[in-house]
């Protein structure tokens, strides 16, 4: 069988190009007319049109490869890309850890249609964007970095930005507490370079797996197998051309190489997801030993400070949160990581109390949520009649059901995310808000219900003449 074999009906076809084709059929891709400049212009257009449809830039100045941006920057895009609704996406994320499927090694792969092992210049091959005027250069931002830990043999996949430094050199940003940094530190102790592969335009199951961090993805988990579990099918992989590592067979580009343990270069500044520019700092160097790509590859770009960066983790975090909460608190029915909280720092938890014995469990849910997701700083609990995806309805619950003197839960000195400048190197007070009502008070707080009307919009038309007739024959009021 080749990598384009028919996908089973019981599995998701999460391949990059399959996702793009579905999105195009659903009208979720806009195509830019004319030539686009990778220096500031494309990223600025992506930011200006963020949170809506994906953008295709078919003609990019100085490059043969088209650029696709804002790919997964909205719920509608994610649902179209996967071909299922967001609740099913969360279910697939949830099953990934519990039902991993080992990758399937193939002999030939589209990502190796073109193989370059010498004489290449990554800066001329890859249309990496210069994103914002304050950035220090061009960055690859949608690259999934794959490493096989030399001590454990476990495959890890994660997102890391890479700054182009030279024909075969890129700087790679490593945050503390990440599995790639741990593997790199072990390689540094041994004094041997760390083999990695950077995959651009790869299977969406791997994209979502790479977005999973911390306790949601323990270091012993083989993330190529977890990606297979998410998709419900084995991820096709192929042996790299210049390094001893497996890479996704269906990717658009793969940069093979080694992270040097004895060299560093300044990487950054670069605009991060939090909205601030991360300052320049010394970072490890990745020495590229080969570049492979499809015959006509598509380059995937993500704005650092853009919706796609945070939406990628939204469903992963929601699935992780619900898994923890539902295991011990059966009153929890749903959860929403909000857009204003960057789908990371704020959560709305919906509960349904069915007896007086359930009173108080909503506050347990607040504490459990903070324990489940370190970066959460604000949790609001509401009742089952509140639409947690409607900010106005959530604010209604705050306005009518929350009494500040008794319903605020403060947890001082807790650990959050170090990028949030309001805190002190990641330490801040976390806030829980109980906007639910006691079980015995449900009737008193019940909202007025109207009769159900099927599609009321069908009864109306935009008819200015009717209003003219009502206001007077001369229509002077118009």
CA 253 to chain CA mean position, Å: 20
pLDDT band, residue 149 (cuts 50/70/90): confident
Neighbours of 74 (CB within 10 A): 20
User: What is the full DSSP assignment across 201-256?
Assistant: S--HHHHHHHT--GGGS-TTS-HHHHHHHHHTSPPEEEE-SSSS-EEETT-SEEEE
Give percent of the chain with pLDDT exceeding 70. 95
More confident residue, 11 or 228: 228
Name the pTM for this structure. Answer: 0.88
Looking at residue 477, what is its pLDDT? 55
CA triplet 230, 236, 238: central angle to 5 degrees?
140
User: What is the full DSSP assignment across 62-80?
Assistant: TBSS-EEESTTSSHHHHHH
pLDDT band, residue 7 (cuts 50/70/90): very low
pLDDT band, residue 470 (cuts 50/70/90): confident
Looking at residue 1, what is its pLDDT? 37
Closest by Cα among 71, 345, 430 to 336: 345
Q: Are 109 and 88 in contact (CB under 8 A)?
A: no
| Per-residue pLDDT tens digits for 123-144 | 999 999 999 999 999 999 999 9
pLDDT band, residue 276 (cuts 50/70/90): confident
Residue 271, classed as helix, strand or coil, is strand
Helix (H) or strand (E) holding 47: helix 41-48
Q: Which segment of 61-65, 237-241, 425-429 scores lowest on mean pLDDT?
A: 425-429
What superfamily does domain 309-441 belong to in CATH?
A: UbiD C-terminal domain-like (3.40.1670.10)
For the chain, the structural domain boundaries read: 86-301, 309-441
Enter the CATH code of domain 86-301. 2.30.110.10
Using a 10 angstrom Cβ sphere, with 0-12 exposed, 13-18 middle and 19 or more buried, the burial of residue 334 is buried
How many angstroms separate the CA atoms of 446 and 383, rounded? 11
Residue 6, classed as helix, strand or coil, is coil
How many angstroms separate the CA atoms of 231 and 100, rounded? 10
């Amino acid at each position: 069988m080749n990598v384009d074999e028919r996908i089973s009906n019981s599995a998701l076809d999460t391949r990059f190009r399959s996702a793009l084709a579905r999105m195009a059929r659903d009208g979720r891709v806009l195509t830019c007319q004319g030539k686009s400049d990778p220096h500031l212009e494309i990223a600025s257009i992506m930011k200006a049109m963020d949170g809506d449809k994906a953008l295709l830039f078919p003609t990019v100045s100085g490059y043969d490869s088209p650029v696709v941006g804002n790919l997964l920057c909205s719920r509608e895009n994610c649902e179209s890309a996967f071909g299922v609704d967001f609740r099913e996406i969360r279910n697939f994320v949830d099953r990934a850890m519990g039902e991993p499927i080992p990758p399937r090694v193939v002999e030939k792969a589209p990502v190796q249609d073109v193989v370059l092992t010498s004489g290449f210049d990554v800066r001329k091959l890859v249309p990496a964007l210069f994103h914002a005027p304050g950035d220090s250069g061009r960055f690859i931002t949608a690259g999934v970095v794959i490493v096989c830990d030399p001590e454990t043999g476990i495959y890890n996949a994660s997102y890391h930005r890479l700054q182009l430094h030279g024909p075969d050199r890129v700087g790679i940003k490593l945050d503390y507490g990440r599995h790639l940094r741990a593997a790199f530190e072990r390689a540094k102790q041994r004094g041997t370079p760390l083999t990695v592969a950077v995959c651009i335009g790869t299977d969406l199951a791997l994209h979502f797996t790479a977005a999973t961090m911390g306790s949601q993805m323990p270091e012993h988990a083989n993330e190529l197998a977890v990606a297979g579990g998410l998709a419900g099918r084995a991820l096709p992989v192929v042996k790299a051309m210049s390094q001893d590592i497996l890479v996704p067979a269906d990717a658009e580009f793969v940069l093979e190489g080694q992270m040097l343990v004895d060299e560093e270069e300044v990487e950054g500044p670069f605009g991060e997801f939090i909205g601030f520019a991360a300052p320049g700092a010394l970072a490890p160097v990745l020495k590229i030993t080969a570049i492979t790509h499809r015959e006509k590859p598509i380059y995937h770009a993500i704005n650092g400070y853009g919706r796609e960066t945070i939406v990628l983790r939204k469903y992963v975090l929601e699935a992780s949160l619900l898994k923890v909460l539902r295991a011990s608190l059966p009153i929890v029915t749903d959860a929403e990581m909000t857009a204003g909280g960057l789908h990371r720092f704020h959560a709305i938890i919906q509960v349904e109390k069915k007896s007086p014995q359930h009173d108080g469990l909503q506050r347990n849910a607040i504490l459990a949520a903070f324990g489940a997701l370190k970066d959460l700083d604000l949790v609001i609990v509401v009742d089952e009649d509140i639409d947690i995806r409607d900010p106005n309805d959530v604010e209604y619950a705050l306005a009518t059901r929350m009494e500040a003197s008794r319903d605020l839960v403060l947890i001082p000195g807790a650990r959050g995310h170090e990028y949030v400048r309001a805190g002190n190197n990641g330490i801040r007070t976390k806030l829980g808000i109980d906007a639910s009502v006691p079980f015995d008070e449900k009737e008193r707080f019940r909202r007025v219900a109207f009769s159900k009307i099927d599609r009321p919009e069908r009864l109306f038309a935009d008819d200015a003449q009717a209003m003219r007739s009502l206001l007077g024959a001369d229509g002077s009021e118009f």
